[in-house]
Amino acid sequence: MSEINPVPLSLLDLAPIPQGATARDAFHTSLALAQQAEKLGFHRYWLAEHHNMTGIASAATSVLIGYLAANTRTLRLGSGGIMLPNHAPLVIAEQFGTLESLYPGRIDLGLGRAPGSDQRTMMALRRHINGQGDTFAEDVSRMVSWFDAAQGDAPTVQPVPGLGLKIPVWLLGSSLYSAQLAAKLGLPFAFASHFAPELLLQALHLYRENFTPSARLEKPYAMVCINVVAADSDNDANFLFTSMQQQFINLRRGQPGPLPAPVTNLHQLWSAGEQYGVQQALSMSVVGGKEKVRHGLAALLRETQADEIMINGQIFDPQARLHSFALAMEAYRSL
């Protein structure tokens, strides 16, 4: 096997709420995971915005980032991502300006274009379709200009705090749009292949080929997110992975809920069509013991030439989840 030069390894946390647990339990689990990630040397730790989903506790993403930042010392924390169309850009700039002011040099702002919710939830978030069309590109540019403002600049409307704080801004995507926009604006790009793998390589190619250097970034910087479920044996890992598979079955049925407990026989639970759809959505998943995870991560690096890898893992048992991420880091360090 050719020599692999590992790049930074980071962690995505959806703050899962397992069946029988509460959001408070999920927050405490996230804190334990963030503290472990800091000790193990994970590069950054991101949380994702979801709404009206009883199995995910990270809806108030910036609040949860603050909780974890207050109880860690060096770990980079951020959003993977904030769904910007749900919010006024000024409010997000102020929230992350506050976080950066409290925890300088440790905060990332990852922005997504999708609503991350259904139509009724969008309306409950006061996201109105007002005839202006898609303003995502303009909103991102406005936020970057606020964060990059020079000392003495005083726009009529400004985030306080936030103006001039140079907060890193990432664009996130599961299609081609954000790859092209990140290239145009000269921003780092993260692809969500942990649930939408189909366009990964095309998006990376578009981003790298069309990248325009900016004051923020001289050359393309692409992060790839995948699922990793590691355990002491391949069989144990496959068992743990059934929780995430069931979660995706439920999503396809329009019945999202708490993270299910793992099962020994999935074939009793899904149809052939559901099996195909779930396996396609989760095809960028590395599941197994440490050696299998090592080979999977090495293959991913060779195939994508990613500048950074981010791993996600929805696991029912909190201790098994901590162990999975620890094993993943051990496997990665052995490359």
Per-residue pLDDT of the chain (335 residues), as tens digits, is 445 667 999 999 999 999 999 999 999 999 999 999 999 999 999 999 999 999 999 999 999 999 999 999 999 999 999 999 899 999 999 999 999 999 999 999 999 998 656 778 877 876 665 555 689 999 999 999 999 999 888 889 999 999 999 999 999 999 999 999 999 999 999 999 999 999 999 999 999 999 999 999 999 999 999 999 999 999 999 999 999 999 999 999 999 899 999 999 998 999 999 999 999 999 999 999 999 999 999 999 999 999 999 999 999 999 999 999 999 999 999 99
Nearest CA among 305, 301, 310 for reference residue 335: 301
Q: What is the pLDDT of residue 127?
A: 62
Is the omega angle on the peptide bond into residue 112 within 30 degrees of 0, that is, cis? no
Structure tokens at 228: 């990793």
Structure tokens at 266: 């999935």
CATH of 9-232+285-333, one of 3.20.20.140, 3.30.1330.40, 3.20.20.30, 3.90.1150.10: 3.20.20.30
Q: What is the pLDDT of residue 227?
A: 98
Q: What is the pLDDT of residue 126?
A: 67
Q: What is the pLDDT of residue 1?
A: 40
Structure tokens at 180: 């092209």
Q: What are the residue ranges spanned by the domains of the chain?
A: 9-232+285-333
**Cα 228-234-239 angle, rounded to 5 deg:** 75
Chain center to CA of 300: 17
